[in-house]
Structure 1
Amino acid sequence: MRFFRLGNPLLPWRHPRAALAFAHDLVAAGVAWWLAFWLRFSPDWPEQFQHLMEQGLPWVVLVQGGCFIGFGLYRGMWRFASLPDLKRILLAVAVAALVAPATLLLLAPGVVLPRSVLLLDPLLLAMIMGGSRLAYRAFKEHRLAALAHPERRPALILGAGSAADFFLRELRRHPSGLRPVGLLDDNRAKQGRRLQDVPVLGALDDLPRLAQRMGAELAVLAMPAAPHAVKRRAAELALKAGVELLTLPALEDLLAGRVTIQSLRGLELEDLLGRDPVTLDLEGLTHAIGGRTVMVTGGAGSIGSELVRQLAAFRPARLVLVDASEYGLYRMGEECAQRFPDLAVELVAADVRDGARMTALLAHWRPVWVYHAAAYKHVPLMEQDNALECLKNNVLGTWVTARAAIAAAVEKFVLVSTDKAVNPTNVMGASKRLAELVCQSLEGQGTHFLSVRFGNVLGSSGSVVPKFRAQIEAGGPVTVTHPEVVRYFMTIPEAAQLVLQAGLMGRGGEIFVLDMGEPVKIVDLARLMIRLAGRTEADIPIVFTGLRPGEKLYEELLADAEATLPTPHPRVRVAKAAGEYGCVDAALAWIQATTDAGPETVRVQLAQWLRDYRPERMGAAAASAGVVQRAHTRA
């Protein structure tokens, strides 16, 4: 019996509060013993049973007190009395109910105790001990709530499930700056009922009406595991109601004590634009990666670093991080040492264009898989005088690393590509399309090559989201290129997880296309971020600046001549792209031989190698959409 640890009890007299609780329980034992006789024999109590009660009282109290100590009743605190404490009380009382009569029979063989007393005594004792503890807890919680600041902000709680129940309990123990005035839940069975004495007033759609009626200033989303569609709906309702929306941390973090109830935070962009968690083939990935060496190039970048975090969960024998950024490698080394202390991580400063260096690295570490995330990706920057460098890094770097992977007998080489490789209108997108073709042209030499395309990643370095955040923090304006420009978005963890899944499914030569969900208008994204910051467009204006060189109004995940086929994973499809491998050798030869070429020369060469590359598409699209104007929009 695991509750009974007589060899290591907490002796109650060693702590004043525990001693007081022990004294209470001894008194409760005596009272329960007296009440059992009184209920059995009142109003006419025979003298012989009066004597029997008095004779057995000290022995019963002594035996029961020993059971209380043995079952560890004084390890807990009455203020936090809960179901496990009640379970301990019931076990201690049950054992005492058997031991006490046996003790009396041994010490006084002629004494015959009424069976009704033997039954009533443990029942009464359990009621007194359990009831007093629960009453004390209720008193403390009520007292703490009464001591809270009288000007707490009234709040409506969205959700009436386990997270809301835990939140309300914690509010009673640790009052914060809000006062719950009601709960909202779409489950009709819960409406009209009460949770922790707080009424469930209606459904989520009633938030604007009830916020006005109850004078609520806040809404707390107590559904940390809710789908992103529900979170978006809650955000829209809160904006309509004119109340500030906060959300709880994950329930498992609260229960584990990693965060406190004071860790309420505002809804973030990832909460609204993200999607439900990705389902991975955990067994397959563990079998493929566990106990083996994996290399990530660009391992200090946005996608590369998240790939490292996701790969660590599958317990590889070693992760080799290759990056040209010294600071980025240092930062990732510090993070890995803290988060994955048992994982062997090698930090390698290297340029993926350096053939001798990459060949030596791959020959030394012999990874089974290589994730190639090293790339230049900033579209306008690569359209300028950096165009040749973009080709050298994205195309030549892929070819050099891929050749080194073949020489080292790497099983799989996964290229992280982009939706901008489809019908490219800019140098960056064209360079990634060439990198895809490089990988496809090398298939069949031992290493399996595959590419994974996806769109913009929320919060990645150089993306629009950090730029908007900085502009909002600076007081505006927020600059948007065009009112009709749209992009696909996904979170960094989702992108990395789907890259892992696609890599597992690949057999060689495929281009995988990730399900990016619905495209988002950039101007709508800007407005949403302004509102999430608690501001309006009257405070932070939006300024349209015109499409930049190489930019499209919209991105495509598939080229016109391509088709996709489903895969076993619902968010990953495979593209059957028409190969243009004949251009690869010519492109590589020109890139290697050229030391100085302006952006216009690079664009001319790209047009010769790639039939789908049409930089003029951007200009035509921009002109037809009337980008020449600049406008300010205000609420």
Structure 2
Amino acid sequence: MFEKFLNLPRMYKRLISVSSDMVVLFVAIWAAFSLRLEQDLWIPTRDHLLVAAITVVFTIAVFIRLGLYRAVIRFLGDKALLTIIYGVFASSLALIVLGYMLQVPVPRSVPIIYGALAFLFVSGTRLGIRMLVNHPHQRNKEPVAIVGAGETGMALASALRQGTEYRPAVFITMDRANHKTMIDDLPVVSIDLMAKHMAKHGVRRILLALDPYSGVDRKQLLSRLEALEIPVQTVPSVTELVAGQARINDIRDLEIEDLLGRDPVRPDAAVVASSLFGKSVMVSGAGGSIGSELCRQILRHKPKSLVLFERSEYSLYKIERELQRINEVESLSVELHPLLGSVVHRRRCESVMRTFGVQTVYHAAAYKHVPLVEHNVIEGVQNNVFGTYHLAEAAIDVGVERFVLISTDKAVRPTNVMGASKRMAELVLQGLAERQSSTVFSMVRFGNVLGSSGSVVPLFRDQIRDGGPITVTHPDIIRYFMTIPEASQLVLQAGSMGAGGEVFVLDMGEPVKIADLARKMIHLMGLSEKTEDRPDGDIEITYTGLRPGEKLYEELLIGDDPQGTSHPRIMKAREVYLPWEKLEELLSRLTRASQTFDCRDVVEILKESQTGYAPSSDMADLVWCNGDGDYRAKPGSNNVLRLN
């Protein structure tokens, strides 16, 4: 019967609501007179009935005008209750006026009693129906705990009640004074006592809903939640909610910055904006992890134009579509120029810069995956060294004002070709900075980027969802980590600070042990680690051994005496550089070795180039190691590699 009522057409439900309100309003008027006159059975006169009828009809008309009957009862909120209050107040006034106009005796206290009863009856019927409708659905939903009893937490609880998947069961607070209080009809428990209450309330999922700038130590909080082995998820940031990119009840896995466990570096927005606003900016490798985030952030600083330079057609198509949407939604009016091309083709780079009047270049195009570059030595050197060289020379010829290279911590005392090629790229820019003064060159060096292509976090998450095992190369391997937005902000900040030839590095805090990161992800996804002591665990961690060219520990500085900058978390490295004459000779030799595909000679030149390159493994280039000696191109043949 009740389900049949719920499935009635909307018009029928409104008619039932109107009929119900008419009945309860008549009852409220009768009860008000009975209570005032202290009669168990007050019999109204014909005049009283006339006043009551006109009052009820007037009240229904007010409710219709205020939109009460457009409200869906199962989603009844504060606005509907306010509407009832306004309508009942108008109804009480009508009762007074009608009694005076029609000369019907209405005691002064009757309208007050009637107003109170009418509000109780009209709102009570609706709240009762809402409880009947929602209660069975609430029972079938998964109980969750909400960490954070502030505005974000309450908004999440309200949204979840209207949804179909989760039922808020308890709030977890970091403020001990709020323990055992009630918020929005939900109990609030201190984080110190949450373990007991998780079982008491049958919680099967924990949702983070911390207010912005709440000052909570997220690293410590996650350590406590990790011990519960209950899945921990989060809600979108306030920025995403305001921008309309997400809803409060869009539950998602923990953000990468949560796993990082420290506050991200914040740039000086004014300095960055002044270096980008109204400028023509080019990003090489615009479709990559860092390049695409650079484009997003540059776009919001409203440059005159943004040139997207990318060799991958799909990546370029994808980032251009996304930027076009941002451009339209936020009315930024930035000219977007998606261009296919490779940084190793100097003439292409120069024509692009000249055509669009590029003033600032952010060079993010690079091969960065250590094992792959070890297996493809020539391509790695061609892209990372000569791509940087040709793009920089084109920038000088065109008159670009600023050129910023995205480097890596693997360029410090490198043990692999990728790191050595990136250090060589740094030396090239340092040499060019000494040779001329028209273009300001600077480099930004940072550690691993969480969430980028090839990052361990997406890999570990996929392995956990597949049931394991998680593969870690070595139990003691550690890395410095940054988020993609954080790395991009640092690049933009350094690009505005550079005076010529500097290598900027970030104070990245403590390094992260990869095995510990894997364990944290296992526990925060509600699972347990499978070990010898715990054979019934869910996910096992296996160690596969260091890959070719891989180090246990990464560093950010070659020297030990960094300089401070105007930004408290950005340092400037003091490192040796080569005079241009020496560098030009090395580049010439490296060109010849690359053209003949002589991997051994390429490695030897990188060793001689004061890059600090000390290979940790034997030559791993797949063609070199598996060829028969006749595959190398001969000088003067048609298949000689041309780098410009």
**TM-score (norm. length: structure 2):** 0.79
Query: Equivalent residue for 1:609?
Result: 609
The SS at the match of 1:430 is: helix
- The structure with higher relative contact order (CA 8 Å, sep 6+) is 2
Question: 1-side partners of 2:201 and 2:15: how far apart?
Answer: 47
Question: 2-side partners of 1:431 and 1:192: how far apart?
Answer: 60
Residue 428 in structure 1 maps to residue 423 in structure 2: no
Residue 352 in structure 1 maps to residue 350 in structure 2: no
Query: Equivalent residue for 2:386?
Result: 396
Of 119, 136, 153, which aligns to 2:129? Answer: 136
Alignment of 1:251-270 (within 5 A): 258=246, 264-267=251-254
CA 1:229/1:528 → structure 2, altered by over 3 Å: closer, same or farther? farther
Query: Equivalent residue for 2:18?
Result: 22
Of 454, 458, 463, which aligns to 2:446? Answer: 454
Q: Does the 8 A contact of 1:561 with 1:577 survive in 2?
A: no
Query: Equivalent residue for 2:231?
Result: 245
Instruction: Return the letter of the residue paired with 2:369.
Output: H
Residue 220 in structure 1 maps to residue 195 in structure 2: no
Query: Equivalent residue for 2:573?
Result: 575
Shift of 1:394: 1.9
Q: Does the 8 A contact of 1:97 with 1:118 survive in 2?
A: yes
Of 510, 513, 526, which aligns to 1:518? Answer: 510
Question: 2-side partners of 1:124 and 1:473: how far apart?
Answer: 56
Q: Does the 8 A contact of 1:292 with 1:317 survive in 2?
A: yes
The SS at the match of 1:437 is: helix
The SS at the match of 1:348 is: strand
Query: Equivalent residue for 1:363?
Result: 354
Query: Equivalent residue for 1:565?
Result: 564
Q: Does the 8 A contact of 1:451 with 1:510 survive in 2?
A: yes
Question: 2-side partners of 1:229 and 1:395: how far apart?
Answer: 44
The SS at the match of 1:457 is: strand
Question: 1-side partners of 2:235 and 2:80: how far apart?
Answer: 28
Query: Equivalent residue for 2:88?
Result: 93
RMSD: 3.8
Question: 1-side partners of 2:174 and 2:463: how far apart?
Answer: 37
Q: Does the 8 A contact of 1:246 with 1:264 survive in 2?
A: no
Deviation digits for residues 101-155 of structure 1, max 9, x if unmatched? 55665x54x5675443444443443333233333332333334335x3xxx7766
The SS at the match of 1:452 is: strand
Question: 2-side partners of 1:420 and 1:398: how far apart?
Answer: 17
Question: 2-side partners of 1:19 and 1:492: how far apart?
Answer: 56
Residue 326 in structure 1 maps to residue 319 in structure 2: no
CA 1:536/1:296 → structure 2, altered by over 3 Å: closer, same or farther? same
Query: Equivalent residue for 1:625?
Result: none
Shift of 1:357: 0.8
The SS at the match of 1:74 is: helix
Query: Equivalent residue for 2:364?
Result: 373
CA 1:335/1:197 → structure 2, altered by over 3 Å: closer, same or farther? same
Of 62, 72, 80, which aligns to 1:77? Answer: 72
Of 284, 298, 310, which aligns to 1:311? Answer: 298
Instruction: Return the letter of the residue paired with 1:127.
Output: L
Residue 194 in structure 1 maps to residue 192 in structure 2: no
Q: Does the 8 A contact of 1:485 with 1:521 survive in 2?
A: yes
Shift of 1:221: 2.7
Residue 273 in structure 1 maps to residue 260 in structure 2: yes
Of 41, 53, 59, which aligns to 1:64? Answer: 59
Shift of 1:15: 1.7
CA 1:531/1:318 → structure 2, altered by over 3 Å: closer, same or farther? same
Query: Equivalent residue for 2:118?
Result: 125
The SS at the match of 2:587 is: helix
Query: Equivalent residue for 2:549?
Result: 550
Question: 1-side partners of 2:340 and 2:587: how far apart?
Answer: 24
The SS at the match of 1:189 is: helix
Shift of 1:440: 3.4
The SS at the match of 1:482 is: coil
Q: Does the 8 A contact of 2:290 with 2:484 survive in 1?
A: yes
Q: Does the 8 A contact of 2:148 with 2:210 survive in 1?
A: no
Question: 1-side partners of 2:90 and 2:469: how far apart?
Answer: 73
Residue 483 in structure 1 maps to residue 483 in structure 2: no
Residue 501 in structure 1 maps to residue 493 in structure 2: yes
The SS at the match of 1:555 is: coil
Deviation digits for residues 504-561 of structure 1, max 9, x if unmatched? 3434443221232321123333444555563634466555454444333211111225
CA 1:409/1:80 → structure 2, altered by over 3 Å: closer, same or farther? same
CA 1:469/1:317 → structure 2, altered by over 3 Å: closer, same or farther? same
Size of the aligned set, in residue pairs, is 592
Deviation digits for residues 62-115 of structure 1, max 9, x if unmatched? 32222222222222122222211122222333344445655665x54x567544
Instruction: Return the letter of the residue paired with 2:23.
Output: V
Instruction: Return the letter of the residue paired with 2:51.
Output: G
Residue 31 in structure 1 maps to residue 22 in structure 2: no
The SS at the match of 1:366 is: coil
Deviation digits for residues 415-466 of structure 1, max 9, x if unmatched? 1111122233333223222322333344463333221111111232234445
Shift of 1:159: 4.2
Q: Does the 8 A contact of 2:410 with 2:418 survive in 1?
A: yes
Deviation digits for residues 447-498 of structure 1, max 9, x if unmatched? 3322111111123223444555566667665544433221111222222222
Question: 2-side partners of 1:68 and 1:121: how far apart?
Answer: 16
The SS at the match of 2:109 is: helix
Question: 1-side partners of 2:145 and 2:112: how far apart?
Answer: 48
Q: Does the 8 A contact of 1:439 with 1:509 survive in 2?
A: yes
Question: 2-side partners of 1:137 and 1:615: how far apart?
Answer: 71
Q: Does the 8 A contact of 2:415 with 2:549 survive in 1?
A: yes
Identity %: 39
Instruction: Return the letter of the residue paired with 2:33.
Output: F
Instruction: Return the letter of the residue paired with 1:309.
Output: R
CA 1:361/1:81 → structure 2, altered by over 3 Å: closer, same or farther? same
Question: 2-side partners of 1:475 and 1:609: how far apart?
Answer: 46
The SS at the match of 1:585 is: helix
Deviation digits for residues 269-313 of structure 1, max 9, x if unmatched? 553125445534445544543454321101111211222233333
Question: 1-side partners of 2:265 and 2:12: how far apart?
Answer: 53
The SS at the match of 2:403 is: strand
Instruction: Return the letter of the residue paired with 1:22.
Output: V
Query: Equivalent residue for 1:418?
Result: 408
The SS at the match of 1:367 is: coil
Q: Does the 8 A contact of 2:278 with 2:303 survive in 1?
A: yes
CA 1:590/1:234 → structure 2, altered by over 3 Å: closer, same or farther? same
Question: 1-side partners of 2:58 and 2:230: how far apart?
Answer: 58
Query: Equivalent residue for 1:405?
Result: 395
Deviates further, 583-592 or 185-194 = 583-592
Q: Does the 8 A contact of 1:208 with 1:240 survive in 2?
A: no
CA 1:24/1:413 → structure 2, altered by over 3 Å: closer, same or farther? same
Question: 2-side partners of 1:505 and 1:19: how far apart?
Answer: 69
**TM-score (norm. length: structure 1):** 0.80
Question: 1-side partners of 2:369 and 2:40: how far apart?
Answer: 95
